[in-house]
Amino acid sequence: MNYSVLDIFKQGLSGNRGWQPLWRSPAPKPSYDVVIIGGGGHGLATAYYLAKTHGVRNVAVLEKGYIGGGNVGRNTTIVRADYGQKGNSAFYSHSLKLWQGLSQELNFNVMFSPRGLLELCHSDGQMESFSRRANMILARGDAVEMLDRAGVQAYAPFLNFDSERFPIRGGLLQRTAGTARHDAVAWGYARGADRLGVDIVQNCEVTGFDITGGVVRGVETSRGAIKAAKVAICVAGRSSQVAAMAGIWLPIESHVLQAFVTEGLKPFINTVVNFGVGHFYISQSDKGGLVFGGDLDGYNSYAQRGGLGRMEHVAEAGMSMIPALGKARMLRSWGGIMDMSMDGSPIIDKTHIAGLYFNGGWCYGGFKAIPASGSAYAQLLATGATPDYASAYRLSRFETGHLINEEGTGARPGLH
């Protein structure tokens, strides 16, 4: 079923009884050309582009829980391309372009809302370093602008401009950045992949690998063994655990990251604000809730919930920058497991085991990466090489020490 306005009208007349499930629930087949482990945003997007762009349709996505239950449904949905360094810069620039046409591509409304992203500066030094990054972004051909204090006041008047510790000096504004609806991204890619013949198998946990003679032959799962010519790991916060089943040790730590949402309010914050030095960022969802978060909890964990200490820190930082926040009631908080790489940048590569591929290390910025990551990983699986925009994400960088140093925007687990 292709969605259209006419369709909504027709379904409305028939009591909405004709809508189909978004994807089938097939039993896993004994073998596939490609098995993708993990039905998060990256796994589903990879399956979609494998089938759509490369015609590889004998594909299964094996998900141990349900679609949308991982980080793809737990993040704060910020989509941006404000990286300066070679490597990340080209990748996120490409991803943002894919976001712009994603609803049309998938025939599914992912509610991409380019409402802008403002990163606050509080000192001359910070203005200097953000200006440098802004120039790097401009030089690659993307839009970004530096605002002075008056410019920020006009753009986001709800901020506290004279906080004692962090008075606002200016900001970096990317008007093309914004938010999207996280569930819809997972559902849209799942539906798109399913329509092209991909089997999406939920409640199917991969428990081991069948590797003989240095070649992967398939996977062991909670629903039996499945053979595959190629196996693609794509499990975000579980990267280390799943790779360890194949005897691979990754340069990754797992940390918990929390997020918070208030009760629904009238439109109040019309952009995304990042108060980086205070470890606080915020946007307002289409339902009206203020969605905000901060830094990692600061200890390694596989729990999908965080501690009260971080909650207090985030609330304090939020109150200091947006005092009106104190009037809102917090509705919910949750956590997700982040696979933090040592340079805050991801990995999309083959492993030393023939036929076994790895995608992970997305840290706390992997939602915005989903379209570009899916298409790059699909290309790697189909052709053996990643496209240029993802060519920096090789495992070999950890051997040579040529890390993608994204100081100021990337994550640095070594400091946590």
Q: What is the contact surface with ligand FAD in residues (CB under 6 A)?
A: 37-43, 62-65, 69-72, 74-78, 205-206, 234-238, 242, 257-259, 293, 336, 362, 364-368
Instruction: Report the residue number, 78 or 317, with the smaller CB distance to ligand FAD.
Output: 78
Contact 57, 197 (CB under 8 A): yes
Instruction: Report the residue number, 169 or 377, with the smaller CB distance to ligand FAD.
Output: 377
Closest approach of ligand FAD to the CB of residue 237, in Å: 6
Q: How far is CA 318 from the centre of its chain?
A: 23
Closest approach of ligand FAD to the CB of residue 235, in Å: 4
Q: How far is it, in rounded angstroms, from Cα 348 to Cα 43?
A: 12
Closest approach of ligand FAD to the CB of residue 414, in Å: 19
Closest approach of ligand FAD to the CB of residue 293, in Å: 6
Q: How far is it, in rounded angstroms, from Cα 36 to Cα 43?
A: 6
Structure tokens at 8: 């909504």
Closest approach of ligand FAD to the CB of residue 129, in Å: 22
DSSP 11-30: HHHTTT--PPPSS--PPPPS
Closest approach of ligand FAD to the CB of residue 282, in Å: 11
Q: How far is CA 175 from the centre of its chain?
A: 19
Instruction: Report the residue number, 41 or 318, with the smaller CB distance to ligand FAD.
Output: 41
Give me the helices (H) in 32-178, please: 41-54, 88-100, 102-106, 124-139, 149-155
Neighbours of 67 (CB within 10 A): 24
Q: How far is it, in rounded angstroms, from Cα 416 to Cα 396?
A: 24
Instruction: Report the residue number, 169 or 239, with the smaller CB distance to ligand FAD.
Output: 239
Q: For residue 108, give the DSSP letter.
A: S
Cα angle 154-156-160, degrees, rounded to a multiple of 5: 105
Closest to 91 (Cα-Cα) out of 295, 366, 350: 366
Instruction: Report the residue number, 169 or 283, with the smaller CB distance to ligand FAD.
Output: 283
Closest to 119 (Cα-Cα) out of 408, 325, 406: 408
Closest to 101 (Cα-Cα) out of 375, 390, 411, 400: 375
Tell me the residue type at 361: G
Q: How far is CA 345 from the centre of its chain?
A: 12
Closest approach of ligand FAD to the CB of residue 110, in Å: 13
Instruction: Report the residue number, 163 or 304, with the smaller CB distance to ligand FAD.
Output: 304
Instruction: Report the residue number, 28 or 70, with the smaller CB distance to ligand FAD.
Output: 70
Instruction: Report the residue number, 99 or 169, with the smaller CB distance to ligand FAD.
Output: 99
Closest approach of ligand FAD to the CB of residue 234, in Å: 6
